[in-house]
């Protein structure tokens, strides 16, 4: 197989999954001059066969959505934007995402995913070998991206590092208060808030494994990008319980149930020193865990010079759209790249490409 001609004016896009991130990516592919949406893979049998334009709230395209994986594999897509719910957390087969990604790559499809594998070496030689072998078989390129991880905790500190003579420590801090976030499905079901400690331990097993993978990848990638000598990443997590019933937009968090989560990942060098730290503080109410960090998201680099940037909690008005766009804007670079695994350290600076919308009659 040969890589697609990257000098052409448009790229054929097959969107994998039609959740919020997938819908954003597909909608932009329909609108932009240099992108041609040729298909939509859906998980729901009820969506299969329906016009993808109608599923996206747009004019009919004449292209039916499919839940047949072979249709994607046999298509002439230049790129597949892979954006399902992460199989490491959801579904019966935790390795499904990796299986699907490798099948797509082996079939000659370049793949950009938002489910993880941002820096695959963290997951060990077996995962790297699977991805590399699939890329080699299909002469295809693999890339993973996102918002955080994928931008705030990695692109930002890596960009800041260009101003440094020396770096002693990188500290990324994300602080979120979900008191006014109206989604019990996400807050209570997916993230485990309002669970008893015992129920949370069971519910959090798969999500914790996934989060540890995601943020360990980010920490290691930042450390390797700055040549900080990190040889391993440690992880810690503690919960805070509600002292009283807490009334939130998602519902009531009952006294004694999980109301806060504090995650911490640290990249350690051979001398046992922390070189990159990523902390995430989640609260269901402003009154939770008053001793935990408060304030804004921040990236702090201790070194020469020392640097500090802060982001308001609302630094991006739509995080799911931002996630989709980080994938969409990577398309030309991924298609142009040599076959293989390409991380954020391997690709050129990503910019928004071709903002002009297609002419609509």
- In order of 119, 161, 234, 308, the CA distances from 170 in angstroms are 18, 9, 15, 10
User: In terms of pLDDT, which residue wins out, 60 or 5?
Assistant: 60
Q: Quote the percentage of the chain above a pLDDT of 90.
A: 90
Degrees, nearest 5: CA angle 164-122-223: 10
Compute CA 111 distance to the chain's CA centroid, rounded to the nearest angstrom: 14
pLDDT higher than 60, residue 4: no
- Please report which confidence band the pLDDT of residue 186 belongs to, taking 50, 70 and 90 as the band edges: confident
φ, ψ at 114 (rounded to 5°):
-120, 15
- Distance between CA atoms of residues 183 and 263, nearest Å: 21
Q: Strand pairing partners for 82?
A: 16, 113
Summarize the confidence of residues 137-157 as an average pLDDT: 97
pLDDT of residue 351: 75
Per-residue confidence band for 203, with pLDDT thresholds at 50, 70 and 90: confident
| Average pLDDT rounded to a whole number, residues 14-41 | 96
In degrees and rounded to multiples of 5, residue 105 shows phi and psi of -60, -45
For 227-244, write each residue's pLDDT tens digit. 999 999 999 999 999 999
Lowest mean pLDDT among 73-87, 108-122, 176-190, 230-244: 176-190
In CATH, which of 3.40.50.720, 3.30.70.20, 3.30.420.270, 2.60.40.10 is domain 11-146+320-341? 3.40.50.720
pLDDT score, position 185: 87
pTM greater than the 0.85 cutoff: yes
d(CA 94, CA 107): 22
Name the pLDDT band for 2 (thresholds 50, 70, 90): low
* Least confident piece of the model among 17-21, 256-260, 354-358: 354-358
Using 50, 70 and 90 to split pLDDT, how confident is the model at 314?
A: confident
Residues 3-20, mean pLDDT to the nearest whole number: 80
Q: What is the pLDDT of residues 75-91, one digit of tens each?
A: 999 999 999 999 999 98
pLDDT above 50 (res 361): no
Q: Where are the domains of the chain?
A: 11-146+320-341, 155-315
Residue 346 confidence (pLDDT) above 60? yes
Mean pLDDT across the chain? 94
On the 0-12 / 13-18 / 19+ scale of CB atoms within 10 A, 72 is buried
């Amino acid at each position: 197989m040969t890589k697609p001609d990257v000098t052409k004016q448009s790229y054929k896009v097959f969107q994998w999954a039609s959740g919020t991130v997938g819908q954003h990516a597909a909608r932009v592919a329909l609108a932009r001059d240099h992108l041609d949406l040729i298909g939509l893979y859906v998980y729901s049998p009820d969506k299969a066969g329906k016009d993808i334009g109608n599923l996206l709230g747009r004019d009919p395209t004449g292209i039916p959505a499919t839940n047949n994986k072979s249709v994607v594999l046999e298509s002439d897509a230049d790129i597949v934007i892979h954006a399902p719910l992460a199989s490491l957390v959801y579904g019966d087969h935790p390795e499904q995402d990796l299986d699907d990604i490798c099948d797509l790559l082996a079939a000659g499809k370049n793949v950009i995913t938002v489910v993880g594998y941002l820096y695959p070496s963290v997951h060990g030689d077996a995962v790297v070998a699977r991805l590399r072998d699939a890329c080699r078989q299909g002469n295809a390129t693999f890339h993973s991206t996102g918002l955080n991880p994928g931008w705030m905790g990695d692109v930002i500190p890596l960009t800041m590092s260009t101003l440094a003579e020396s770096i002693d420590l990188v500290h990324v801090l994300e602080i979120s208060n979900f008191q006014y976030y109206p989604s019990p499905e996400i807050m209570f079901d997916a993230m485990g808030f309002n669970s008893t400690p015992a129920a949370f331990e069971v519910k959090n097993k798969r999500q914790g494994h996934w989060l540890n993978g995601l943020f360990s990848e980010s920490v290691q990638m930042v450390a390797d990008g700055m040549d900080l000598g990190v040889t391993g990443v440690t992880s810690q997590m503690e919960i805070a319980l509600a002292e009283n019933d807490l009334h939130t937009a998602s519902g009531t968090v009952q006294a004694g149930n999980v109301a806060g989560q504090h995650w911490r990942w640290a990249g350690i060098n051979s001398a046992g020193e922390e070189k990159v730290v990523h902390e995430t503080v989640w609260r269901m109410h402003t009154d939770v865990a008053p001793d935990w960090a408060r304030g804004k998201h921040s990236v702090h680099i201790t070194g020469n010079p020392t640097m500090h940037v802060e982001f308001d909690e609302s630094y991006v008005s739509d995080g799911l759209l931002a996630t989709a766009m980080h994938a969409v804007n990577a398309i030309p670079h991924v298609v142009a790249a040599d076959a293989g695994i390409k991380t954020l350290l391997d690709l050129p600076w990503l910019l928004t490409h071709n903002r002009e919308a297609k002419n609509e009659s």
